[in-house]
């Protein structure tokens, strides 16, 4: 089975059930409304506060776009890029591309014009679908993108160099095109997050996509009655592959365009959400808003929320302990993955293992893991080594980059670049990124361990630890600390030094910098950017020298 067949099955079994809801909190009307009215209110012209789509409508829209693409010459093996903010059109466009046999190429909406050009050329993209937020960036590069033959625009006031998606797709056939597809065919190209340098193009097959559905549903037991709240960007494998559990179960998902704590709680309450996936900063912001009294939980309907899971970055145990104190009846889970392993799930904690909070878990459903030393041999239990994974979601290659492919793929094993250890019960704990390890006076320092310790301080909102050059020790650990608003100006470096006295001396930060901690759209700390700011080290240097 391929993933487009799952959509077609849902359209037949549940044609009139809601598949997707899009909520635009910024389009919320000024006047106070009850949640019964909430479904009926429109925002500014051309946009709605809430839009929804049935499974039949989802499949029809995907078929129409597939047929539109084929009238423009798109065929099996071609590449069609998607440059959109989260919206209700996103997933039907994605599935329309897959139905043609072409490869879907989601693009990070934070990329600059030059980064967009770089990625589209790297992936040999033939066509681009983009939204109003990107007109300026696409205008800067479209004349230099010689391989891209067509542009489809999703929105109003269509630029002169593109065609309007909504206008053209409505005239196309709603019948699925007859394209022979199987699990071994190429399906999608995703881009690495760029936190270690320039993005790489990650090639995945239809087999990887369908197996990510099976892994996700096995881990989180989605049923037809569940409602999933999806907030992270759909261009990223994490958001989409967690949604795949909803696809496989035929259940509703809600796309929330915003991350304010009150917006999250409103969506959970109004849509009767049962599962929410949060990034670490959003979970922390929500807890902080509750602590400050900015939101009152009694005003929301939350009893149906059964599961909160976190991923995309190391999860501080202190955060989960806070969450369980506020929400004692919610199950908690975490998943580990990377775009090269088709997103989350190759390592999975499991809701039954809350006593192991801090661990990323054990090998996920259909996956295998091992922790290896520099020689590629498995290290002893408890020792630190590089985490490697094997399973049906391992990428085929870095597209157009055989050298980089060779570095990360060793036979069937994907070497993640993450340093980890396994405890006596077989649970895996992340120690740090291989390239982020700080060597200070001959000692290996793992920034994640120091960051987890510092996050326990009540005044610290976020923290990142990087290595700074030092003539005597080679490198020293520097902590970039972002304080909670109410503590800004009230803490000094000596206060942090005093707090760190409980850590072994060699692990204590030698320098403290109070500043904002930059994170990308998937919540990962942008350490190359921090090194560029505080070390004068460029992104290219950080990729090649660390």
Give per-residue pLDDT as tens, 305-335.
Answer: 999 988 766 677 888 888 989 999 889 999 9
Neighbours of 111 (CB within 10 A): 20
Cβ–Cβ under 8 Å, residues 273 and 301: no
**What is the model's pLDDT at position 238?**
84
Task: Say how far apart CA 446 and CA 206 lie, in whole Å.
Answer: 37
**What is the model's pLDDT at position 432?**
67
Report which of 206, 301, 228, 213 is spatially closest to residue 19, judged by C-alpha positions. 228
The alpha carbon of 351 is separated from its chain's Cα centroid by a whole number of angstroms, namely 20
Reported as a single tens digit per residue, the pLDDT across 413-426 is 999 988 899 999 99
Residue linked to tokens 């005239």: 171
Give, in order, the Cα–Cα distances in Å from 17 to each of 55, 223, 473: 6, 14, 63
Neighbours of 384 (CB within 10 A): 17
Average pLDDT of the chain is 88
Report which of 503, 76, 10 is spatially closest to residue 248, judged by C-alpha positions. 10
Token pair of 25, please?
């909190």
Question: Model-level pTM?
Answer: 0.82
Characterize 486-501 residue by residue with b for buried, 16 or more Cβ atoms within 10 angstroms of its Cβ, and e for exposed.
Answer: eeeeebeeeebeebbe
Task: Say how far apart CA 242 and CA 215 lie, in whole Å.
Answer: 9
Token pair of 271, please?
């849509």
**What is the model's pLDDT at position 10?**
98
Name the more confident of 30 and 326.
326
Cβ–Cβ under 8 Å, residues 311 and 344: yes
In order of their start, the domains of the chain are 441-545 (3.30.300.30)
Is pLDDT of 345 > 50? yes
Residue 86 CB partners (closer than 8 Å, separation 6+): 22, 230, 233, 234, 239, 255, 256, 257
Reported as a single tens digit per residue, the pLDDT across 151-184 is 999 998 999 999 999 999 999 999 999 999 999 9
Q: How confident is the model at residue 203 (pLDDT cuts 50, 70, 90)?
A: very high
**What is the model's pLDDT at position 199?**
84
Q: How confident is the model at residue 503 (pLDDT cuts 50, 70, 90)?
A: confident
Cβ–Cβ under 8 Å, residues 360 and 336: yes
Report which of 129, 88, 87, 137 is spatially closest to residue 110, judged by C-alpha positions. 137
Polymer length in residues for the chain: 546
Task: Say how far apart CA 46 and CA 280 lie, in whole Å.
Answer: 33
């Amino acid at each position: 089975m391929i993933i487009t067949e799952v959509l077609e099955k849902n359209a037949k079994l549940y044609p009139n059930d809601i598949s997707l809801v899009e909520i635009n909190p910024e389009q919320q009307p000024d006047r106070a409304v009850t949640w019964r009215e909430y479904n009926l209110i429109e925002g500014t012209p051309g946009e709605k506060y809430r839009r929804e789509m049935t499974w039949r409508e989802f499949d029809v829209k995907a078929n129409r776009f597939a047929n539109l693409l084929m009238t423009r010459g798109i065929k099996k093996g071609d590449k069609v890029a998607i440059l959109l903010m989260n919206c209700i059109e996103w997933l039907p466009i994605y599935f329309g591309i897959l139905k043609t046999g072409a490869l879907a190429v989601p693009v990070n909406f934070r990329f600059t014009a030059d980064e967009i050009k770089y990625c589209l050329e790297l992936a040999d993209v033939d066509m681009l679908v983009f939204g109003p937020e990107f007109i300026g960036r696409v205008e800067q590069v479209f004349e230099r993108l010689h391989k891209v033959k067509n542009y489809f625009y999703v929105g109003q006031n269509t630029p002169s160099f593109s065609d309007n998606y909504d206008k053209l797709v409505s005239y196309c056939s709603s019948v699925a095109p007859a394209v022979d597809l199987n699990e071994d065919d190429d399906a999608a190209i995703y881009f690495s997050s760029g936190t270690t340098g320039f993005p790489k193009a990650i090639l995945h097959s239809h087999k990887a996509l369908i197996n990510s559905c099976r892994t996700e549903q096995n881990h989180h037991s989605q049923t037809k009655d569940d409602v999933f709240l999806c907030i992270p960007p759909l261009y990223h494998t994490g958001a989409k592959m967690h949604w795949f559990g909803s696809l496989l179960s035929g259940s509703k998902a809600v796309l929330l365009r915003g991350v304010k704590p009150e917006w999250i709680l409103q969506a959970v309450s109004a849509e009767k959400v049962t599962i929410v996936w949060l990034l670490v900063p959003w979970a922390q912001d929500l807890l902080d808003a509750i602590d400050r009294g900015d939101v009152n939980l009694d005003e929301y309907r939350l009893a149906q929320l059964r599961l909160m899971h976190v991923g995309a970055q190391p999860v501080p145990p202190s955060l989960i302990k806070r969450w369980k104190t506020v929400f004692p009846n919610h199950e908690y889970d975490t998943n580990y993955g990377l775009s090269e392993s088709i997103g989350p799930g190759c390592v999975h904690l499991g809701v039954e293992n809350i006593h192991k909070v801090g661990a990323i878990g054990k090998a996920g459903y259909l996956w295998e893991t091992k922790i290896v030393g520099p020689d590629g041999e498995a290290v002893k239990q408890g020792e630190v080594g590089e985490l490697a994974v094997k399973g049906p979601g391992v990428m085929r290659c870095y597209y157009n980059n055989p050298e980089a492919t060779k570095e990360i793929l060793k036979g069937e094993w994907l070497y993640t670049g993450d340093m980890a250890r396994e405890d006596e019960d077989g649970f895996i704990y992340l120690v740090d990124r291989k390239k982020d390890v700080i060597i200070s006076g001959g000692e290996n320092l793992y920034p994640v361990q120091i960051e987890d310790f510092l996050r326990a301080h009540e005044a610290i909102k976020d923290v990142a630890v990087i290595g700074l050059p030092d003539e005597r020790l080679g490198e020293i650990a520097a902590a970039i600390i972002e304080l909670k608003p109410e503590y800004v100006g009230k803490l000094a470096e000596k206060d942090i030094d005093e707090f760190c006295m409980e850590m072994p001396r060699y692990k204590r930060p030698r320098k403290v910098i109070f500043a904002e901690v930059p994170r990308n759209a998937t919540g990962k700390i942008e350490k190359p950017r921090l090194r560029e700011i505080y070390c004068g080290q460029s992104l290219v240097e950080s990729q090649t020298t660390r």
